[in-house]
Chain A
Amino acid sequence: MLDRIGAGDRDALKMLYEATSAKLFGVILRIVIERGEAEDVLQEVYITVWRKAAEFDATRASPITWMVTIARNRAIDRLRAKGSRPTTTLDEAAEIRDAAPAADTLIDSANDAKRVQAALGMLDPKHAAIIRCAYFEGLTYEALSDREGVPVGTLKSWVRRGLMRMRTVLAA
């Protein structure tokens, strides 16, 4: 009987893993690049999810947003602990858009994904690129500023204007 309870929790985690691990692995790989490291981070993420599941507040965030946040934070921690990594420049990031949006039913609806794509498309390309760079590379404003030769204040205002505009577009 006790074994079955233990096994039940394990099954639940396994199901969660099967439903979400490809998405999270993709997110982590975008940030840490190196596959072995990304595998380590992914492992840490599910261990964290398991241990912190009690802190999850369903009224505040969707489960997948919560998990993506954990994955990003872990990946960024790993990246910063390691120092630098090969990075895409801002100009390249403006080009980067993965060929096909992930065919996955987990996050919101396909409709939402399209709306976000469209909203990003309406931003000043520089603003959209810096948001992508910051989000996917885990770089601080200082690091982005060094790399792009753009003052920190300017970067901050790009990000803010970009996100505010995105919010307006999405709310419309």
Chain B
Amino acid sequence: MTEIGDPSEGSDAALALDFALGTLDGAAMRAGEQRLRRDPAFSRDVAHWQDQLSPLTNEVVGIAPPRYVWEAVDRELFRAAPVRAVAPADSIWSRLAVWRGLAFAASGVAAVSLALLVSRPGPAPVAVPPAVPTGSLLAASISSTDRAKAVLITATYDPSRGAVILTPAAADASRGLTPELWLIVGTNPPKSLGVIDLKDPQAHRIPGSLRAQMTGGVTLAISLEPAGGSPTGSPTGPVVAAGKLTAI
């Protein structure tokens, strides 16, 4: 640690410090990433400063993320198309360093992690997780809430893209207001999926945090809002159409 250089202006040591702190602009940051791979001295200096800075995160209060974040990670890594879910056989062992390090760092889970590591058999042939049919499409006919029940727009949700394809089926009924799409799960308050267009077909991205909730049986609804969408986070205008999402 004592051999870490004095980070005087313009020196490599200063660059390493700035890199670790994250104050370099995009191009310099990428150059630094390249250098990290081929320059051991630079990479040692960066690691030194990262270590020095990382206790700053002790000031940050941990906040439990919502459940669906893990579910999304799990789906992405272990339940997606087998080709992406499969790890190269030998990397199982190279990964052990992380788990082992954490096992020692996190006293609470140490015993369990070690037990897991010990019980794991040697490098194995490619492990193919059971294929779980995710990625199946869901669709909703979003019909007007008046007596006519005319289909206003059809919505097809494609989980692999995290987007809903909206296809208007009737004349634009937005009357100069801004249509906003809402997700309603059971009796929970509607959650905004963003403002949409009732005129043209479009792919509309679902916020990452809400994707896990796009499942069969939930309701999609459209309300008419002022320009820019609801100012409150809840529908403020009339709900003009709604429909249930079902698997197709």
Interface residues in chain A, defined as those with a beta carbon under 8 Å from any beta carbon in chain B = 2-3, 5-23, 25-27, 29-30, 35-37, 39-40, 42-43, 46-47, 49-50, 53-54, 56-58, 60-66, 68-69, 72-73, 76, 80, 97-102, 104-108, 112-113, 116-117, 120, 131-132, 134-136, 138-142, 144, 153, 156-157, 159-160, 163-164, 166-167, 170-171
Contact = CB atoms under 8 A, between A and B. Distances in A.
A35 B17 CA distance: 29
A43 B69 contact: yes
**Chain B interface mostly helix, strand, loop or mixed?**
helix
B73 A142 contact: no
Given A99-B61, A100-B61, A116-B56, A47 B23 contact: no
Which applies to chain A's interface (DSSP): helix, strand, loop or mixed? helix
A36 B47 contact: no
Contact of B76 (A2, A47, A136, A139): A47
Contact of A107 (B14, B55, B100): B55
Contact of A15 (B43, B101, B112): B112
Given A53-B91, A58-B97, A116-B55, A22 B65 contact: yes
B116 interface: yes
Interface stretch (B117-125, B218-226, B231-239): B117-125
Contacts of B57: 23, 26-27, 68, 107
Given A43-B76, A58-B101, A9 B61 contact: no
Contacts of A99: 61
A112 B57 CA distance: 12
Contact of A6 (B60, B68, B78, B94): B78
Contact of A3 (B54, B116, B127, B208): B127
